[in-house]
Structures are given as structure tokens and as C-alpha cells.
């Protein structure tokens, strides 16, 4: 059992490079793609 667990742990830390995963974890990026900022208005 210990060996299996060690193998799992190794797999967990040495996973496949996945840039989409990182992007997903960044709320700012996600929010901006879902809500678009409006055109800027200035007060006259």
C-alpha cells in the first residue's frame, strides 16, 4: 500500500504540463472573458 501511495504522490507532483489548467485557476482572466468592460465614458 505504501508503494502505491508513493507512486501516486509522485504522479501528483510530476503531472503533465497544462497551461489551460493554470488559466482556469486565475479568476481575473475568467471573469473578464465572461463580462466585457463597457466603452469608457467621461463626464462633461
Partner 1 sequence: PEPQPDDHIKVVRIEKTQDPLGATVRNDGEAVVIGRIVKGGAAERSGLLHEGDEILEVNGVEMRGKSVNEVCDILSRMNGTLTFLIVPTQVPPPIQQRRDILIHVRAHFDYDPEDDIYIPCRELGVAFAKGDVLHVINQEDPNWWQAHREGEEDQQLAGLIPSKSFQEQREAVKQSILGESETREKSKKGTLLCAKTHKKKKKKIPYSSAFNDEFDAEEIPTYEEVALYYPRTSFKRPVVLIGPPNIGRHELRQRLMQESERFAAAVPHTSRSRKDGEIDGQDYHFISRAQFESDILSRKFVEHGEFEKAYYGTSLDAIRSVVNAGKICVLNLHPQSLKILRSSDLKPYIVFIAPPPLERLKQMRIARGEAYKEEELIDIIEKAREMEEKYGHYFDLVIVNNDIERTYHELVQRINYIEREPQWVPAFWLKQ
> What are the residues binding partner 1 (CB under 8 A)?
8-9, 12, 24-25, 27, 30-32, 34-35, 37-44
Pick 17 or 44: Cβ nearer partner 1: 44
Distances from the Cα of 43 to the Cα of 10, 13, 14, 38, angstroms: 58, 53, 54, 15
CB of 17 to partner 1, least distance (A): 17
C-alpha cell recorded at residue 23: 488559466
Backbone angles phi, psi at 37, to 5 degrees: -60, 140
CB of 2 to partner 1, least distance (A): 12
Amino acid at each position: 500500500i505504501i508503494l502505491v501511495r508513493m507512486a501516486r504522490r509522485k504522479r501528483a507532483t510530476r503531472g503533465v504540463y497544462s497551461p489551460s489548467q493554470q488559466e482556469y485557476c486565475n479568476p481575473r482572466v475568467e471573469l473578464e472573458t465572461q463580462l466585457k468592460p463597457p466603452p469608457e465614458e467621461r463626464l462633461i
